[in-house]
Amino acid sequence: MKLFKTAIFMLLLAFSVYASESSPTLKSVMKGLGDSVDELNRGIFYEDFKVIETAAHKIANHPKPKTQLPIVVKTLKERMAKFKSFDSKVHDSAAEIVELARKQDLNSIMEKHTVIMNNCVACHTQFRSEISQALSSFSKNTKAK
């Protein structure tokens, strides 16, 4: 029985290590989103609808920081719904921009771009500092053990 428990523990540990290595951090997700927004802006400035479509697709389908999400949920508690609302508005607007780029509808793209920017800034204003601090504290506590 002890051997079985040890084997299960080792298996769970291996999966945990794999998950942490394969799941991006919130910081890396945000960096990627920032790069995609920069790319979206360039596409808009040059009226390059293929660049707009590609960048919007990246924004709408960004990876999730699965291993850090429980820390975010624990930190925000009942405010998590607001956090998810910001993310959903960004996702939905980016998905709409993909379709609008195919139609080359720059005016509608600009309207959805405004929704993305407003929700990114609102989310950062309300949550960035608190989430950053929580993730930093968790990281320090994990390394100290």
Alpha-carbon distances of 132 from 6, 43, 58, 115, 129, rounded to whole Å: 35, 30, 23, 24, 5
pTM of the complete model: 0.80
What confidence tens digit (pLDDT) does each residue in 23-61 have?
A: 999 999 999 999 999 999 999 999 999 999 999 999 999
Q: What is the pLDDT of residues 54-73, one digit of tens each?
A: 999 999 999 999 999 999 99
Q: Which segments of the chain does DSSP mark as H helices, in order?
A: 2-22, 26-46, 49-60, 69-76, 80-103, 106-123, 129-144
Domain boundaries along the sequence of the chain: 24-144
Q: 124: helix, coil or strand?
A: helix
**In this structure, which CATH number among 1.10.357.10, 3.40.50.720, 2.40.240.20, 1.20.120.10 belongs to the domain 24-144?**
1.20.120.10
